[in-house]
Amino acid sequence: MALETQNQSAGSKFGLLNILGRERCESYLLFHGETALDNGFRTFLYFLALAYCFFGLSAITARFFRSMENVVKHSRKIVEVDPDTNTEVIRYEKVWNYAIADISLLAFGTSFPQISLATIDAIRNIGNLYAGGLGPGTLVGSAAFDLFPIHAVCVVAPKAGELKKIADLGVWIVELFWSFWAYIWLYIILEVWTPNVITLWEALVTVLQYGLLLIHAYAQDKRWSYLSLPLGRTERPKEWVPEEITSSKHQPIDYEEYSEILQVDKDESRNVVDIFSIHSNVETDQVYHKVPETDDAVEFSDKNFHSEQDFNVAALWKRQFLDAITLESLESRNMFSIHIRLARTFWEILLAPWRLLFAFVPPYHIAHGWVAFICSLIFISGIAYIVTKITDLISCVTGINAYVIAFTALASGSSWPDLVASKIAAERQTTADSAIANITCSNSVNIYVGIGVPWLIDTTYNFFVYRQPLRIENAEGLSFSLLVFFATSVGCIGVLVYRRLTLGAELGGPRIWAWVTCVYFMLLWLIFVVLSSLRVSGFI
């Protein structure tokens, strides 16, 4: 009887919100005439707009991932003296540490949609005593999406029968610990120390823990005494991506292919020496030679390539715009092929505005990919801002709690770059390290940066202006979602451990068992979404 009364109360509450939405929701997305449309039709249009923004996130992810690969592959010149021949030796060493690249570039970049969304939500609410629930809701929901659906996709991503395991268990355990601790820490500051409020020092400590994660992961990777686990490392690849797709920026380019795919000519690149080049897949041994006493030779070599590089970049950039406005030919004698091509053409037309917009992102060859990397993040921030506006409209028109929209639709859509990056890593890398590290590290980044930075902005303002802490909207619902996440995540990690003990790998394996694991992970995600939604809606 009590449950029935509670359900009726919840139904009455949302009915009232819908009435208020019909009467007072005068906001619009594009034109004033939207407010005259039926609320149901407006909701349909806004969800279409939200889905289209997520298509844009998917499109920009491809460029972001390419630029990130180029950043990670950057090497620096190391000059040493060979004790046997007494000659100077040139070797190239990776600038980025393997584990740090996963935690910072990969995890931070793929989590940037959620981080941008939460930061924008915090800035919009600055000056209010209550923090908005859109950012935290999205980030907690994103954690569940990362852990369950993305693991589900990665398990079936390798080829049938192919096994891919984590090569460096020590680093993964460290990352997993900080991932779980992030959500334990969030629950402590929400429910134990200062219930329903966040103080300035709590927000500051939250952000600083991201630095501790980086230090601990680096210490484990380097096997520092007293700070690392005594676990070995096996089969870790030397390159972030497999050798067969590694390319050098001075190798010949086929401009008839996609603008950012390099065609490798091994014979011509074998003798190229450039201090900015990556380790080529044809460089199997160190190159020993006497280094000139000045940098004249290096400068001369760099000048020789300078005009060619400028031409290549200009041609690639031009090709990006041509690709954006070029549609695939429909010439075919097979009717089935024609239907497939028609579907692909429709898809290309649908994405054409995004492709044309993202063609302004410079080719990833400039500055080792940093320019394209930063530009991609800027575009992601712009899309995140539009997403926040659309979410406000959906909540306003329908009366649905914004927190429910956040940890379902927004979390799933904004986590699409995480899914794409992990899937690509699971397919292309020889181990499961980056695919799974992206999941665990993204969850850590979601809390330490995605929630920590917005709360730090608001708590700092409230501390100096109002001398009051930041109150958290719907803190009980957020805490309940954390508890559900803990319970379901144990089931997820337990299955990964069981697969390692029985199959010898976390990803891949016999097709039937891979799909069984995939379905199991998706069920865990549905449990999280349903229980959290019911709690926020007042039904439990």
Does a structural domain hold residue 273?
no
Domains of the chain: total: 1
Write out 18-44 in H/E/C secondary structure: HHHHHHHCCCCCCCHHHHHCCHHHHHH
Does a structural domain hold residue 339?
yes
Please give the residue range of the domain that contains residue 216: 35-232+314-327+335-537
Residue closest to 155 by CA, chosen among 517, 530, 536, 535: 517
Residue closest to 289 by CA, chosen among 91, 93, 92: 91
Q: Tell whether the model's pLDDT for residue 37 goes beyond 60.
A: yes
Which class for 313: exposed (0-12), middle (13-18), buried (19 or more C-beta within 10 A)?
middle
CATH code of the domain covering residue 210: 1.20.1420.30
pLDDT-based confidence at 537, cuts 50/70/90? Answer: confident
Residue closest to 450 by CA, chosen among 218, 183, 196: 183
Does a structural domain hold residue 237?
no
pLDDT-based confidence at 257, cuts 50/70/90? Answer: very low
Does a structural domain hold residue 285?
no
Section 499-522 average pLDDT: 92
Q: What does pTM read for this prediction? A: 0.71
Distance set, CA 261 to CA 40, 257, 294, 364, 365 (Å): 45, 7, 35, 10, 11
Give yes or no for a contact between 89 and 288, defined as CB atoms under 8 angstroms apart. Answer: yes
Does a structural domain hold residue 79?
yes
Q: What is the largest CA-CA distance in the chain?
A: 90
Supply the pLDDT for residue 72: 79
Does a structural domain hold residue 194?
yes
Does a structural domain hold residue 402?
yes
Strands 287-288 and 88-94: antiparallel
Which class for 270: exposed (0-12), middle (13-18), buried (19 or more C-beta within 10 A)?
exposed
Q: d(Cα 467, Cα 125) in Å, to the nearest integer?
A: 17
Percent of the chain with pLDDT over 70: 78
Does a structural domain hold residue 385?
yes
Beta-carbon neighbour count of residue 262 at 10 Å? 19
Per-residue pLDDT reduced to its tens digit, 315-335: 888 888 887 777 665 555 555
Supply the pLDDT for residue 501: 92
Lowest mean pLDDT among 264-268, 348-352, 517-521: 264-268
Q: Tell whether the model's pLDDT for residue 52 goes beyond 60.
A: yes
pLDDT-based confidence at 131, cuts 50/70/90? Answer: confident
Give yes or no for a contact between 519 and 509, defined as CB atoms under 8 angstroms apart. Answer: no
Per-residue pLDDT reduced to its tens digit, 135-172: 788 888 888 998 999 999 999 998 888 899 888 888 88
